[in-house]
Amino acid sequence: SELEPGTLVAGFRHEDLQNLSFPDNSLDCILSLDVLEHVPDYTFHLTKTQNG
């Protein structure tokens, strides 16, 4: 995508799953719907979101 991580689009924050713009340990919960089937390395995504 050509959007920078953290950009708001129609009220939704655009992020890069491999390079999240949130500071470490800043989220209490992550909701990911209809995403994993589009991610080549879904284990990386799950590990990254678990570790903050």
15 domain residue, yes or no: yes
Residue 47, token pair as written in the block: 């590990």
16 domain residue, yes or no: yes
The reported pLDDT for the residue numbered 51 is 63
For tokens 């209490």, the residue is 28
What are 4-45's pLDDT values in tens digits? 889 999 999 888 877 888 888 888 887 778 878 888 888 887
Q: What is the pTM of this model?
A: 0.49
1 domain residue, yes or no: no
Whole domain around residue 46: which residue ranges? 8-51
The reported pLDDT for the residue numbered 52 is 53
d(CA 16, CA 20): 6
Nearest of 26, 24, 29, 22 to residue 6 by alpha carbon: 22
pLDDT of 50 higher than 90: no
23 domain residue, yes or no: yes
38 domain residue, yes or no: yes
Query: 14 and 7 in contact (C-beta within 8 Å)?
Result: yes
Number of separate domains in the chain? 1
d(CA 10, CA 43): 29
